[in-house]
């Protein structure tokens, strides 16, 4: 069974889902793939310790305190490839970005392959079930395009601006994606 609670952030309402011990999902209202990894029934419960801790983490994040991802018990559901990509996302420092291509090269290196598709990485990034905490908003296209944020490009821009990035070096894609 999963439990559910809500958090009102500066960029909109967020839904937090988890079991008795960990966080399985954190989605922005209207996010693509909203709750796609949650297959069981959810019951509203606001007082679970890890829900309270996650809300405090989000408070700290939105108050520019740069909380540690490792302080939270995260358990996103996904295959081994997605898990590997999400682990790399957690290594991207606050206020920094990586490209899909850089992540693809790291995955290839870590798995002993000669190459890895940036598009495959993009698929894993886009299906990240724990937004903001697993910082998929910190991934950009090789050409500086702000492509590929399931929560919406407008939210990605707000999050990166919040983290102090100079947004003048990035572009908003007109259509499609440029990984």
The per-residue pLDDT for range 65-115, each reduced to its tens digit, is 999 999 999 999 999 999 999 999 999 999 999 999 999 999 999 989 998
* Whether this model's pTM surpasses 0.85: yes
Give the per-residue pLDDT at 178.
Answer: 44
Pick the catalytic residue: 92, 132, 134, 136? 136
Active site residue 77: no
Give the per-residue pLDDT at 179.
Answer: 47
Listed as ranges, residues in the chain with pLDDT below 70 are 33-34, 36, 175-179
The secondary element (H helix, E strand) that includes residue 124 is helix 118-126
Give the per-residue pLDDT at 173.
Answer: 80
CA–CA distances in Å: residue 47 to residues 1, 62, 108, 179: 16, 21, 41, 40
Give the per-residue pLDDT at 16.
Answer: 96
């Amino acid at each position: 069974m999963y439990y559910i609670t809500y958090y009102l952030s500066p960029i909109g309402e967020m839904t937090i889902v988890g079991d008795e011990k960990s966080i399985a999902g954190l989605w922005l209202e209207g996010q693509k793939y909203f709750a796609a990894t949650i297959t069981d029934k959810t019951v509203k419960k606001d007082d679970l310790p890890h829900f309270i801790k996650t809300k405090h983490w989000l408070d700290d994040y939105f108050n520019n305190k740069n909380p540690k991802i490792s302080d939270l018990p995260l358990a996103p559901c996904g295959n081994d490839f997605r898990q590997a990509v999400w682990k790399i996302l957690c290594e991207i420092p606050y206020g920094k970005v990586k490209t899909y291509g850089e992540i693809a090269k790291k995955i290839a290196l870590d798995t002993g392959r000669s190459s890895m598709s940036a598009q495959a990485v993009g698929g894993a990034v886009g299906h990240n079930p724990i937004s903001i905490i697993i910082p998929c908003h910190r991934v950009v296209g090789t050409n500086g395009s702000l492509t590929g944020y399931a929560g919406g490009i407008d939210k990605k821009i707000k999050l990166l601006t919040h983290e102090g990035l100079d947004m003048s070096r990035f572009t908003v894609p007109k259509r499609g994606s440029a990984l």
